[in-house]
Structure formats: structure tokens, C-alpha cells
Structure 1
Amino acid sequence: MTQISPAQTQDEQQGTQGAQGRNPGTAAKPAGDKSLYGGVRSRRVTVRDIAAAKARGDKWPMLTAYDAMTASVFDEAGIPVLLVGDSMGNCHLGYESTVPVTMDEMTLLSAAVVRGTERALVVADLPFGAYQEGPVQALRNATRLVKEAGVGAVKLEGGERSADQIKLLVDAGIPVMAHIGLTPQSVNAFGGYPVQGRGEEAAQQLLRDAKAVQDAGAFSVVLEAVPAELAAEVTRTLHIPTVGIGAGLDCDAQVLVWTDMAGMTKGRVPRFVKQYAQLREALGGAAKEFAEEVVSGTFPAAEHTFH
């Protein structure tokens, strides 16, 4: 994969016209700022911008999103990359794992996220069973996400075993984000969600996987549930950005499932999650207050009533 320098990004050609003041996250930045988070833009973030951020040493955030309204909130907050993850199976569709998610579901929700955003690069997962048969199947399903949903890139799990799929997609013009370490679609093979890359043999395999997806043309790679020291070594070794989730501070970017991050998830969350809000509690409180006012006859009040 060719390394793109900051000078090659389109921002220097297009400037910042039309982007200032669109949201609080961008308005405070100086004109010409190229940072992924909060940088002033007049267009969508692209994989060229991702490569340029790696060259500059910039860190950047990524969140999942599964609907237009939530995606618009994150887009306005300046989040540069939104992942329509197959995590929708757990936190949006009510499945016990990511495995049951279908291409129809992924396409529908990816299109909603694209419609709800203006700036973010939208990346959609290829769900389990959508690429394991081989490169041709992967191309057919990735093409659907690009054409029908309008995403800017796709993500698929696996290192060396998925290299041929990644290469064909990239050769066809579809940017690919790889995903190695703990790959949730393999939950049945793993027997759960254990940390990956512990021990010399496992660490060497993860390094081989990382180099394989880079050589195949992936523009970035997610490292999930990987010891921080190993993730740091991978980040130093690769020229493409690493996106950490439970992989320590040294990755180029960090991603969280938004329902975990915002406190919507019920029960226990993974150790690597930090909750920045308690939306489940707030939403439940609002619902109870509404219900109590209906039961007591105080809603709707005069100001909510037509005459």
C-alpha cells in the first residue's frame, strides 16, 4: 500500500470553505488544520486522510453507529470514522453474538448511518459468512455495501487467512480495514472472548497477520484484546494505522462500541471500556417521568395542547 504524505491530502487544494461553524468540534480549529478529530473539512474524511494522520503521528477516535440519528450526533462531535460494526447484533438487534448478523441487516443500517453523516468516513463490517468462502464472495458483498449503502470502506476479520480477500477488494477499488487479535465472529472457535497474542508463538502469529493485511493493501488494522506491549510493537512495525480496542495506549487510534462508551449497555462491560456517560439511567428516568405524568393527568399540559 502506497504511503500518502500530508501534502497529498485534498484539504490543501480545497481549503476550508463551507465547513466552519457546522459543529462545535470544528469551529475552534485554525484554518487549514488537517487533524482528523475536529479538523475543519469541506468534505468527507477519506483513507488518504487516515494515511496522512499516521505520517504526522496524529491519534484519532472511532465509534460504532447503527442509525442515522446517533451517527449525526457523533458526526457533529467531530468523530472522523464511524464503524457500522456487526456489534449491532449484540447491542442493536438483540442477538447473543455477532454471528447471526446478515448482509441485509448490515446494508440497511449502513445506509442509515451514511444518510445521517456529512463528514465521517463510514466503514461497514462484512458479517460472518459474507467473505469466508473466498475473494469473489467478499467482493460481491463488499460491492453491495459500497453501491447500496454508500459506505467509504469495509472491514473484515482475519489476518493471513483473509489476505486474498483484502487484496481483491483493494484491487477493485474498495478500501479495507482489517481486524486481527480477538475476532468476535470466531467466538465459537475461541470458546469465548480471550485475550490474543499472549506467548511467543501467538505473538509471532499476530505480527504475521498484521504484516499480511498490510501487504494485501488494508489501509488500517483493528487490534482487539491484544497485550499493550505487542500492540505497540505492531504499531511501530506497520506503516498503516492501528486501531486499538483493548490494545493499550500506543495504537494510532482507539475505537469503542458506542453503547458501551455512553453507558447504554446493560450489565457488565469489557475491562477495556470506559463509560463517559450513563445514558441508560438517563433514558430510563425520562421514560418513568413521562409515564408518571400521563398516569397522574399532568401531561399533556396546556402548552402541549391545541384549541
Structure 2
Amino acid sequence: MVTRNTRPTVADIRAMKARGEKISMLYVTTLEEAAAADAAGIHMLSIEGRFFSHEMREAAGRCFVQVGLPYGGWGTFQGRPLATAEDYLRAAFHFAAMGGDCFYCAASYDIQKMLCDNHVPIVAHVGLIPSYITWTGFRAVGKTAGEATAVWRQVKQLEAIGCFGAELEVVPDRVGAFISKNTSMIMLGMGAGPEADAQYLFAEDVLGHTQGHRPRHAKTYRNFAAEYERLQNERVSAFKEFIADVRTGAYPAPQHNVAIADEEFDRFMDQAKA
């Protein structure tokens, strides 16, 4: 069983930033992805609360795990959306007991502050924020001086309320570099240039099975889509062969059946006909 003292802590991640070490981070959804990330030596994982479990924590091994707390219509906790600060705190404590190391929260500053005041390591979000997308559209944020300043001010406010880090998504590279160098928070860069503290990608992009739009910052290292298509074709072929065997009587063959001794079968027939 993985225990807390065998994997990185908040202090360890902060020390990596202080030393200038680059942090690798992946968003994963399956036990296989989590286990592969651990085996490869990925530093941090992002796992939504709906995918997080004791089994997922075990699979993640020594990876530092950020658990995503559901926000608004993006998910539920124990059957209902999180609405109040107490809801978020209850969810954070629940996932902490399961082995979560820090917690993504896209709620308001007052909710984030309450979590921080309760010593919960919180990762916020600045730049392009999917849950707030109606305000910006899907585009880079911070390409004007005014927008870049607004992002910077958000970062300083999050720092002031005690956040551990923030996802820094789709901002210009020089803006990302300035922010990362001038905040104590861990800046988890997703399309924010090479100077962000961490480089954060989705496993589905890395493995090449993304459906639909693939963001500019994504990099694909394997073509799982082709392998999944091959496997699906093999499934269909195997099922067709099974149907054919059923029709012709080739399945089940003698080796698939359970035998009964002749004398026992004869006795059974006598009893059944009595």
C-alpha cells in the first residue's frame, strides 16, 4: 500500500520550483494511465473527483495527485453539485482521506480562501478557464496588456488568499514566464510557454486518442487511435466468428463441455423418468 511518506508533499513540489526543476504533469482518467505515469516517473497527476478512488490512488503510486473538485454543472459529489464553502470543504476532506495531495477548485475567492484557511492545498485556475468559457470563448487569454494585467492580478489575489498553485492555461509565453517567476505559487502551465513551473498535458493527447479538436499546445507521442481502431475491428471479427461457430455447431466443442460418467447418466435417466 502506498503511504504518504513515500510520495512527494506540497513542500517537495515547492522545493522543486525553488530549485528551478521542471515538473511534468498529466491529466488521467484510468487506472492504466495512472500506473503508467507512476512507472514512467511523472511528477504530478490531475484526476477528477469522479475518477478518483482508493484503487486510482494506489495505481498512481509516487505521483503527487491533484484531485479536481466538481464545479457547477461539471460534476457532482455524493449525488449533488457543490454549492457552499462547506460542501467544498467536505469534498476536499473526503478526497484527502483517500490520498489526494492537493485539490483543484474553480469556485469563488471566498470559497477558495476558506479551504486555504483550513490548510487544504488548493490549485486555482487563471487564463483560459473552461468552466468560465462563456466569458471569454475558447481562445488565448492575455494577448493584450489589459488582459495580461488582469491575469496577473488574479494570480496575486490567489496567492494572497493562500492558494498552493494555479493552472495557467493558454496565455502568451512571455506572460507565463513573468507570472511563474514572480509568484510563490506553483504555476501549472497548459499552453503557457516553457517557463511555467510545470508542463501539463492530457494523457489522451499524449497517447493520440483525442476525439475532435486538439489544442495547439498538445503534443502526441503515440497513435493509440489507430490501435484502438485495429482492436475494435478485431472485436467485430471475433464476434462474427463466434456467431458462425454457433450456427454451424462448431462451438461448443467437446473440450468446452462438462462430462458425466455413463453409469451416473443412466441412473439420472432412470430417476428422471420415474
Between 60-69 and 289-298, report the one with greater CA deviation: 289-298
5 Å-filtered alignment, 1:210-249, equals 210-249=155-194
CA 1:136–1:293 in structure 2 vs 1: closer, same or farther (change >3 Å)?
closer
Deviation, structure 1 residue 279? 0.7
| Structure-2 separation of matches of 1:271 and 1:237 | 26
| Structure 2, unpaired ranges of 5+ | 246-254, 258-274
1:9-58: per-residue Cα shift (whole Å, max 9, x none)?
Answer: xxxxxxxxxx9xxxxxxxxxxxxxxxxxxxxx971121111100011100
| Structure-2 separation of matches of 1:253 and 1:206 | 18
Q: Is the 8 A contact 2:142 2:175 kept in 1?
A: yes
Give the corresponding residue for 1:202. 147
| Structure-2 separation of matches of 1:80 and 1:233 | 23
| Structure-1 separation of matches of 2:182 and 2:15 | 17
Q: Which 4+ stretches in 1 moved above 4 angstroms? A: 130-134, 296-299
Name the SS of the counterpart of 1:198 in structure 2: coil
5 Å-filtered alignment, 1:51-66, equals 51-66=14-29
2:220 pairs with 272, 275, 278, which one? 275
Deviation, structure 1 residue 143? 2.2
The one-letter code matched in structure 2 to 1:261 is V
| Structure-1 separation of matches of 2:139 and 2:69 | 22
TM-score by length of 2: 0.78
Between 45-54 and 120-129, report the one with greater CA deviation: 120-129
5 Å-filtered alignment, 1:1-307, equals 43-85=6-48, 106=49, 108-111=50-53, 112-129=55-72, 133=83, 135-147=85-97, 149-157=98-106, 161-162=108-109, 164-190=110-136, 192-296=137-241
The one-letter code matched in structure 2 to 1:142 is A
Q: Is the 8 A contact 1:67 1:116 kept in 2?
A: no
1:166-206: per-residue Cα shift (whole Å, max 9, x none)?
Answer: 3321221211112111111112333x312111212211111
Q: Is the 8 A contact 2:128 2:171 kept in 1?
A: yes
The one-letter code matched in structure 2 to 1:62 is M
Deviation, structure 1 residue 286? 2.2
The one-letter code matched in structure 2 to 1:60 is I
CA 1:79–1:220 in structure 2 vs 1: closer, same or farther (change >3 Å)?
same
Aligned residue pairs total: 239
CA 1:288–1:75 in structure 2 vs 1: closer, same or farther (change >3 Å)?
same
| Structure-1 separation of matches of 2:189 and 2:256 | 53
Deviation, structure 1 residue 271? 0.9
Q: Is the 8 A contact 2:33 2:203 kept in 1?
A: no
| Structure-2 separation of matches of 1:204 and 1:185 | 21
| Root-mean-square deviation over aligned CA pairs | 2.8
- Structure with the largest fraction of helix: 2
The one-letter code matched in structure 2 to 1:171 is D
Q: Is the 8 A contact 2:208 2:225 kept in 1?
A: yes
| Structure-2 separation of matches of 1:171 and 1:267 | 40
Q: Is the 8 A contact 2:70 2:82 kept in 1?
A: no
CA 1:64–1:237 in structure 2 vs 1: closer, same or farther (change >3 Å)?
same
Q: Is the 8 A contact 1:197 1:226 kept in 2?
A: yes
Q: Percent identity?
A: 29
CA 1:59–1:182 in structure 2 vs 1: closer, same or farther (change >3 Å)?
same
| Structure 1, unpaired ranges of 5+ | 1-18, 20-40, 86-105, 300-304
The one-letter code matched in structure 1 to 2:85 is P
Q: Is the 8 A contact 2:207 2:222 kept in 1?
A: yes
Q: Is the 8 A contact 1:264 1:280 kept in 2?
A: yes
Give the corresponding residue for 1:3. none
